Structure 1
């Protein structure tokens, strides 16, 4: 396995993580649910990385794949008024990753990041490792540390 910007950043920071590669189905469109199913994990423990636009600035939202992002709660968490999903092309350009493989770690440009507070219910959580078919397992505290994330209730069932 070759390194991704996410694994390079974690290694450089001395943060322990476990890499999980799996065969990505090119027909799959719900990448987080696919990861949870293939890796045999609870959907609440696998988190998706969503790029949003809050009042004209990009904000990273990390929520369980089992639910949805509450855009109002996200805007409130970062002191904004309105949040919308970012244009996928902008997300790819600003993160250096492709949609379905956007990791919250090692993005080309650092963005304010909000992690759903349910992450703290688990000893470890899973996020994209920087490409489709590749997840990284790490502690919620380490995820928060490496991304500079704030914790907030931004997910909903």
Structure 2
């Protein structure tokens, strides 16, 4: 996988470059009227939605955390809480998520966050050679090896996604 940066640098791409991690940028033209940023990315880029992951900020027992799940499904909040040893989880306030990460909604990347939070990556990523996550702004996704994402974010893996269909590319 080639490393690309060009003029599309974000804190996420800077973190990958600094770590020497190979990645591929996938810029696309974002439609501001879209209802689902992740599904828009999968459709516009022509990539299976099971390989495109969304980054969701969650409040687990009063602590912010990051859930990373395929856009083809949803986040199971009970499973997310359990993965972090918590009892209850709810979606974080959008303004809080933006302040914490330094990114806008629809562009929150699990990488290069202003204040990193504990992260959980859905276990479906383990069956894939590469996955795509937000590159730090709307209209930019980053393709990378899920093992690199785990290493750089300190993520744990667990079954936190619901409703998606895995499509291994190994």
Q: Which residue of 2 aligns with 1:119?
A: 125
User: 1:135: which partner in 2?
Assistant: 141
Q: TM-score, normalised by structure 2?
A: 0.91
Matches within 5 A, 1:1-157: 1-157=7-163
The size of the alignment, in residue pairs, is 157
- Unaligned residue ranges in structure 1 (runs of 5+): none
Could you list the structure 1 runs, at least 4 aligned residues long, displaced by more than 2 angstroms after superposition.
Answer: none
Unaligned runs of 5+ in 2: 1-6, 164-170
TM-score by length of 1: 0.99
Give the RMSD, CA atoms, in angstroms: 0.5
Determine the C-alpha separation between the residues in 1 that align with 2:47 and 2:17.
24
Q: 2:143 is paired with a residue of what secondary structure?
A: strand
